[in-house]
């Protein structure tokens, strides 16, 4: 099969022929139909987060089941599925206490004494985040996918596999935004737009979008933003504080930078909660002013929107089909696998929400 292979940080991905194995008893072979190019892929491709090589990146995807292992009963060939990097075992402490997105059990991968799921000749190719969706097929554990309504367009469904679940989930599950509250979202890429959309679904009374790109701020209005702040026009914290008369109840950082993480905390009202969604580079320290904690302000992280994806993703599909989840405007362009490096470069400019690889075009 054709795949985009990562060999070295800050080097283009190589389009090559590699092989996948046959499904083990609890594995599923999925034909990849669509895969979003996400900032998380860029963080690993540029070395901000280390990853062994060679590897096939990609983790935001949807496809059609091609074959199933002998013990799989949940899906069958022909089913439409969304994949999810937060695969779950179902029996560890995190799974049993409702924190499935934190499961890290090794049984979700193949053990070292078994043939690798991906290979090129005699060389094993590392699987990325349980998925590796920059390839024509994915061989994954059955707990890394969810079956969805076949009426759902798969290019839009792919977005639910990471960005949408991460953004909406951070609002609904991690922060538990209350109806009528004030919300600020820093960064209006795919995840930030999803957080804005999630805040609108949750019933937030005021939703402030913060970015430096005017086109993305205008797009944020389509997703539910009631107000916009252009951070290029001056201190965004000051603008938000003046706009709200004292700060927001909830803020969300969706970029992954030290400065914006600190801004998300500083723009809180007393008793407010800042949720960091963005992937801040390894080794980066975030600094906060100690007395601010006396006002009961809180800061927390969110991993994949604290999801229960087997429950959440079908609901998000329903939201889209009902017109509540605005995914059509999130896709900036549709590309081929051969154009994946252009998709990665587009992320660096900050001008696009999402590029989606279409494997059937």
What band does 96 get if pLDDT is binned at 50, 70 and 90? Answer: very high
* Segment 36-54 mean pLDDT: 90
Q: What is the pLDDT of residue 282?
A: 87
Report if residue 81 sits inside a domain: yes
| Mean pLDDT, rounded, of the chain | 95
**How does residue 361 score in pLDDT terms, banded at 50, 70 and 90?**
low
Last residue of a domain, one of 301, 317, 348: 301
Domain co-membership, 192 together with 290: yes
Q: What is the pLDDT of residue 290?
A: 82
Check whether residue 43 and residue 72 sit in a common domain.
yes
- One domain, residues 244 and 271: yes
Residue 171 within a domain: no
Tell me what pLDDT residue 43 has: 86
Question: Do 207 and 140 share a structural domain?
Answer: no
In a domain, 320, yes or no: yes
Q: Are residues 290 and 312 in the same domain?
A: no
Catalytically active residues are 38, 40, 43, 59, 162
Considering the domain architecture, whether residues 17 and 110 belong to the same structural domain is answered as yes
Residue 53 belongs to some domain of the structure: yes
Same structural domain, 113 and 230: no
- pLDDT confidence of residue 118: 97
pLDDT digits (tens, 9 = 90+) for 324-348: 999 998 898 999 999 999 999 888 7
Amino acid 292: pLDDT: 84
CATH of the domain at 186: 3.40.50.720
C-alpha 252/C-alpha 192 separation (Å) is 8
Asked if residue 166 is part of any domain, the answer here is: no
What's the pLDDT tens digit per position in 118-137? 999 999 999 999 999 999 99
pLDDT tens profile 127-177: 999 999 999 999 999 999 999 999 999 999 999 999 999 999 999 999 999
What's the number of domains the chain is made of? 2
Confidence at residue 134, expressed as pLDDT on a 0 to 100 scale? 98
Residue 40 falls within a domain, yes or no?
Answer: yes
Q: What is the pLDDT of residue 108?
A: 92
* pLDDT, tens digit, 9 for 90 and up, residues 290-328: 888 889 999 999 999 999 999 999 999 999 999 999 999
Same domain? 29 vs 145: yes
Is residue 100 in a domain?
Answer: yes
What is the three-class DSSP state of 291?
helix
Report the half-sphere exposure of 63 (CA within 13 A, side-chain side).
33
- Alpha-carbon span 250 to 26, nearest angstrom: 40
Residues 136 and 247 in one domain: no
Give the ranges where the chain is alpha helix by DSSP (H): 39-45, 93-96, 154-159, 165-169, 190-202, 214-222, 236-244, 258-266, 309-321, 340-349
Q: Is the pLDDT assigned to residue 351 strictly greater than 80?
A: no
**Residue 101 sits in the same domain as residue 186:** no
- Domain's final residue, options 256, 271, 301: 301
Distance CA 31, CA 77 (A): 10
CATH of the domain at 106: 3.90.180.10
Q: Which of 301, 316, 342 is the last residue of a domain?
A: 301
Q: Which domain holds residue 241?
A: 176-301
- Indicate if 16 and 140 belong to the same structural domain: yes
pLDDT of 273-295, one tens digit each?
Answer: 999 999 998 889 999 988 888 89
Identify whether 86 is part of a domain. yes
Q: Both 287 and 311 in a single domain?
A: no
Predicted local confidence at residue 352, as pLDDT? 64
């Amino acid at each position: 099969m054709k795949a985009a292979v990562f060999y070295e940080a800050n080097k283009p991905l190589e389009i090559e022929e590699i092989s996948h194995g046959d499904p083990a008893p609890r594995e599923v072979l999925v034909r990849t139909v669509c895969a979003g190019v996400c900032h998380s892929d860029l963080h690993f491709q540029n070395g901000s987060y280390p990853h062994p090589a060679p590897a096939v990146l990609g983790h935001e995807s949807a496809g059609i089941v091609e074959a199933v292992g002998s013990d799989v009963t949940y899906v069958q060939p022909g089913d439409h599925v969304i994949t999810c990097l937060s695969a779950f075992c179902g029996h560890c402490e995190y799974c049993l206490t409702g924190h499935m997105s934190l499961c890290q059990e090794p049984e979700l991968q193949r053990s070292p004494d078994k043939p690798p799921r991906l290979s090129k000749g005699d060389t094993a190719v590392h699987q990325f985040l349980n998925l590796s969706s920059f390839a024509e097929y994915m061989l994954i554990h059955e707990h890394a996918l969810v079956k969805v309504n076949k009426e759902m367009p798969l290019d839009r469904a792919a977005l639910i596999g990471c960005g949408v679940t991460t953004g909406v989930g951070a609002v609904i599950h991690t922060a538990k935004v209350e109806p009528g509250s004030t919300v600020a979202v820093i960064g209006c890429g795919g995840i930030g737009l999803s957080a804005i959309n999630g805040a609108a679904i949750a019933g937030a009374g005021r939703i402030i979008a913060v970015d430096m790109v005017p086109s993305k701020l205008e797009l944020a209005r389509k997703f539910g933003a009631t107000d916009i702040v252009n951070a290029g026009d001056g201190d965004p914290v000051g603008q938000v504080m003046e706009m709200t008369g004292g700060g927001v109840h909830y803020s969300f950082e969706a970029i992954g930078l030290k400065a914006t993480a600190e801004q998300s905390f500083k723009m809180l009202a007393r008793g407010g909660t800042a949720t960091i969604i963005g992937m801040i580079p390894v080794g980066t320290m975030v600094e906060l002013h100690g007395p601010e904690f006396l006002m009961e302000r809180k800061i927390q992280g969110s991993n994949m929107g604290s999801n229960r994806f087997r429950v959440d993703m079908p609901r998000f599909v329903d939201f889209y089909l009902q017109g509540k989840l605005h995914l059509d405007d999130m896709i900036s362009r549709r590309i081929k696998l051969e154009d994946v490096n252009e998709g990665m470069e587009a992320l660096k400019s900050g001008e696009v929400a999402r590029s989606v690889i279409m494997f059937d075009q």
